[in-house]
Amino acid sequence: MNVLRLGLWLLRRERRSGEWRVLLLALLIGVGSVSTTGFLGDRLKRAMSEQGARFLGADLLVTSPRPIAGWPALPRAKGRETRPPLAISQALEFSSMVSKGDAFQLASLRAVDAAYPLRGTVRIAPRPFEAGTPRAAEPPPGSIYVDPALLPLLGAQVGESVQIGEARFRIAGVIVEEPGQLGGVFGLAPRVFLRAGEVARTGILQPGSRVTYLYQFAGAPDQVAAFGAALKPLLDGTQRLIGAREGVETLHGAFANADRYIQLTALVSLLLSVAAIAIAAHRHALRHYDQAALLRCFGATTAQLRGLYATQLLALGLIGSTLGVAIGALVQHALAALVLPGVAARLPSLGLAPVGAAIASGLVGMAGASLPALMRLVRVPPLRVLRRELPPLPVGAWVGAALSGSALLGLIAWYAGDARLVALFVGALAALAAVLLLLARLALAASRGVQRMAHGPLRFGLAQLLRHRLDSTLQLGAFTLALFLVALLALVRADLVAGWRQQLPAQAPNTFLVNIAPQQQAAVAAYLAQHHLKSSALYPMVRGRLVSRNGLPIADTLPAEARDDNALRRELNLTWTATLPANNAVVAGHWHGARRDAEISVESGMAERLHLALGDRLGFRVGDQTLSARVTSLRTVKWASMQPNFFVIFAPGQLDGLPASFIASVYVPPTSTDAMPGFVKAFPGITLLALDKLIAGVQAVLAQIVGAIQLLLGFLLAAGMAVVVATLLASLDARQQEAVLLRTLGAQRAYLAQALWSEFLALGALAGLLASACAEIAMALIGARLFDLPPSLHPWLWLALPAAGALLVGASGWLTARHITRVPPMQLLRSLD
C-alpha cells in the first residue's frame, strides 16, 4: 500500500510533465479510434441480430429467378399434430419505370399478396412525414403504396394517378416502414408496393425480364429448421435459402467493405499511438534514472520499484483508456449518421463489449510500448547517483514487449474478425514504414545542400534538423505516413469517378432500354431515329445458367476457390450475333461470324476465373432446356463503354427459337428533354435505366463512406502528430543544452525562435513533399491495376500537402519547444545542473 500511495503521489506531482501529457494524448487517440469503430460495429451487429426476422419479413426466405412449383412435405412432430402449418407468403420483385406526365423515375416494384409480411411491420401514412399506422402491405385494388422519395421525383401527391407499364394506379399512401428498411439506404431506386394479381395488366414482364421471386415462411423454430433442412438440397445454384440469421448478412454485406476500411484506419491510429507511447515512455525513463537510483540508495528493492512505476503506468493507462472510450462513444454517433443516415437513431444503445476491448487494447499497447524502458528503469544500480552508467537492457524486456505486441495484434485481429487481413495489413504497413523511413533519411541527406545555401536562422534551423538525424527521421516518417494516407483518400474520392467519366467516349450512352419485346423492335428504332438519338444495336437476350463443362458439372471441374464465382451463382444474360460488338476484341481463337454452328465466345476475365479454354464444350440450362456449345474465341470487353456487353455470345441459330427480350443503349443529349418522357408514353412496358441517376446514387453512398473514413482520419492525423510531439520531447533536453550555450554566447531570443520555426516548417514541408510523391505513385498504381485509368498528376496536391505539413508540424513543434527560447540562460543552467 505504501508503494501504491507513493506511486500515485509521484504521478500527481508530475502530472504537468510533457511526456505524461504525450502518453495520455496517445492513449486518447488510440483507444478513441478503436472504441469508435467498436461501438459502431457492435451496435450494427446487435441491430441485425435483433431484427433478423424483421429484416427478412419472415423466419425463412427463398429467392429464385423463376417460379418454384412445389415445396417438400414437412412431417409433423410427434404429439404436435394440432399445431398449425407454416405460414407462406409469395412476392415478386422487379424494376420498372413509373411516370406522371413528363416526369418518370426508375422504381423497385414489389408485388405482394395479402399475407406479406409474415414478420415485421409495414407502416403506411396518408401523407409524407407522418408516423403512419401498421397495415397490410397489399394496397387496395388499382392502387399502390410508394416510397415518399418517389413523390417529389414525379411531382406527384397521394391520391393522384401514375403510369406503370400499360396500367395506371392511384397512389393510396406512402411507405414509412417496411421489413428490410434498415438496408434501404444503399438502394438506388425507391420502393413501390402493388398487388400481385395486378402485375399482368402492366405488361412489363417479358421473356428474359430480370425478376426475383420471394417465398416467405414463418412458424415455430423447429418447424422452420426442419423445413429449411428438407428444402436446401432441392434448390439449385440460382436459388437461395436465407434464414433470419443469414438474412442479416444481406445488410451486413452492404457496408462490410466500409467497416473493414474503418477498422484498418483505426488500427493504423492505434499503432501510431503505441509508437508515440514508446517514445514518451523512453523519455520518462531517461528523466527518472536518477530518481530510481536514489530510491535504491534508500533501500528500495527491484520489486518495489517495479510496483512503483507499474502503478503509475496502470493509473495513467486506465485514465487515458477511460477518456478514450468516452471520446469514442461521442464520435461513433457522428460516424453512424454518416454511414447510415436516418437510421442511426433506431440502432440499439451502446453495448459494454467494445468498452472492455478498447480498454484492453490501450493497456496492452501501453504495456508493450513501455516495458523495455520500465525494465531498465527498475534495474538501475545505486551507483547511478555517482556514475552515469546504465545497465544493459535485459532480454526479458524485449521478450515481454514482443509478447505484448503480439497480444495487441491478436486482440485487434479478434475484434476485427479477420486475422489474415490484419496480418497482411500490418505487414504492408511495416514495409511502408520502412520505405518511408528510408525516403526520409535520403530527403534529409539531400537537404544538406539547401542548408549550405541558406543564411541566418534558416541555416541554423536546417542544421539542427540534420544534427538530430535519428529524431528527425522518425518524425518525418511518422508524419509522412499520416499525410500520405489522408492524401490518398482524397485522391481516390476525387479521381475515381471523375477519371472513369473521362474514359467514356464522347456522347457515350447514358440510358439503357430494357425489356424490349420482339414486336417492338421496329417501332423503337423508328422512334429513336425520329428524335435523332444515337443508339447501339438492339441485342436479343435470354437468361441461362452455366451448368456443365465437357459433360461434367461445372463445379466439379474447378478448384475450390473458383466454385463460388458469381457467374455460377446466377443466371447469365446470353445473346447471339454474327457481328463482333463494338468495344470487344478477340484475343484468342476466331470469331464465329455468321456460321450457324454450336459455337460461343466467352469474355476473357470470366474464362480466366473459371479456367475455361478454347475447345471446351459448355452446357447452359435455359428454362427447361439444356444447350451446349464449343468455346471458339475469347474476348476482352470494355465494360466502361456504356454499351450492352455480355459474358457469353452465341453464334446465330442456337438461341433463335427461345423467348427473348431486347436491350439497347442510347445517348440522350441534355437538349432532348422531351424525348424520353415521350418514349415512356409510347412504350410504357419498356424500362429506362438512366445511368446518370444511378451514378449519382453510387456517388452518394461513396460520399457517406468516405465521410466516415475522413472522420476517423482525424484520429490518424492526431496519432501522427502525437509521434511528432513525442520525438520532439525526446530531444528537448539536448535542445535546452544547445539553447543555454547559444544564449550564453549572445544569441537573441528572436534568433532562436526563428531557427525553431525554420526547423519545424522545413520538417513539415519535407513530409508533405514525400507524402505527395507517395500518394501520386500509389494513386497511379490503383488507377492502372483496379480501374484501368491512365496516370495523371495533381499539381494542387504538391502545394496543399507541403503547406499543411509545414503548418501542422511547425505549430506543434513551436508549442512544444517554445519555452526554451524564453527562459534566461542562468535559469536554464540551474535546471540542467
Q: Helix (H, G, I), strand (E, B), or coil: what is residue 110? A: strand
pLDDT of residue 499: 54
Range 777-808 burial, b when 16+ CB lie within 10 A, else e: ebbbebbeeeeebeeeebeebbeebbebbbeb
CA atoms of 151 and 149, how far apart (whole Å):
6
Q: What whole-number distance in Å separates Cα of residue 241 and Cα of residue 635?
A: 34
pLDDT in tens, 410-437: 766 666 566 666 676 667 667 767 776 7
Q: In angstroms, how far is the first alpha carbon of the chain from the final one?
A: 34
Contacts of 170 (CB under 8 A, 6+ apart): 142, 143, 144, 159, 160, 161
Name the nearest CA neighbour of 281 among 242, 316, 233.
316
In terms of DSSP bridges, do strands 87-100 and 161-164 run parallel, antiparallel, or are they unpaired? antiparallel
Give me the pLDDT at residue 678, please: 82
- Are 614 and 588 spatial neighbours (Cβ–Cβ below 8 Å)? yes
CA distance 602 to 618: 10
> Pick from 209, 128, 212: which is nearest to 171 by CA?
128
Q: Where are the alpha helices (DSSP H) in 531-576?
A: 566-569
Q: What is the reported pLDDT for 143?
A: 95
Q: Judge whether 262 and 425 are in contact, CB under 8 Å.
A: no
CA 555 to chain centre: 31
Which one-letter amino acid corresponds to residue 329?
A: A
Task: Using the Cα atoms of residue 367, residue 369, residue 372 and residue 377 in order, give the sign of their dihedral.
Answer: negative
Distance (Å, rounded) from C-alpha 332 to C-alpha 664?
Answer: 45
11, 313 Cβ separation under 8 angstroms: no
Query: Could you tell me the three cell numbers for 505?
Result: 467516349
Nine cell digits for residue 408: 495487441
Q: Which of helix, strand or coil describes residue 697?
A: helix
- The grid coordinates of residue 92 equal 415478386
What is the Cα–Cα distance from 286 to 292, expressed in whole angstroms? Answer: 10
Q: Are 611 and 644 in contact (CB under 8 A)?
A: no
169: left (phi over 0), alpha (psi -120 to 50) or beta: beta
Q: Letter for the amino acid at 809? A: V
CA atoms within 13 A on the CB side of 236: 17
For residue 181, the model assigns a pLDDT of 47
Select from 539, 606, 544 the least CA-distant residue to 577.
539
Instruction: Decide: 777 and 815 in contact? Cβ < 8 Å.
Output: no
Identify which of 801, 718, 818, 813 has the alpha carbon closest to the alpha carbon of residue 767. Answer: 801
Q: What secondary structure, in 3-state letters, does 631-697 show? A: EEEEEEECHHHCCCCCCEEECCCCCCCCCCEEEEEEECCCCCCCHHHHHHHHCCCCEEEEHHHHHHH
C-alpha closest to that of 210 among 497, 481, 544: 544
Q: Dig out the grid coordinates for 15 from the structure.
A: 502530472
Residue 753 CB-half CA count within 13 A: 10
Query: What H or E segment, with its residue span, contains residue 212?
Result: strand 212-218
| The residue type at 480 | T
- The rounded average pLDDT for each run of 10 residues, N- to C-terminus, in the chain (833 residues) is 71 64 74 75 60 68 83 54 73 88 84 88 85 88 89 87 92 83 47 92 80 87 83 79 58 49 65 72 72 79 78 81 83 68 59 75 75 74 64 66 70 64 67 72 69 66 68 74 74 57 63 85 90 87 89 87 76 89 89 86 90 92 86 86 85 84 86 78 76 58 59 68 70 71 72 77 84 82 62 82 85 74 63 51
- Give this prediction's pTM: 0.54
Domain ranges of the chain: 1-54+254-417, 55-250, 420-500+695-743+751-833, 534-667
The Cα–Cα gap between 576 and 376 comes to 77
Q: What is the helix (H) or strand (E) element at residue 100, kind and residue range?
A: strand 87-100
Left (φ > 0), alpha (ψ -120 to 50) or beta: where does 429 sit? Answer: alpha
Q: What is the pLDDT of residue 251?
A: 43
Using an 8 Å Cβ cutoff, are 131 and 125 in contact? yes
Pick from 825, 772, 773, 816: which is nearest to 797 by CA? 772
Which residue type does 625 have?
Q
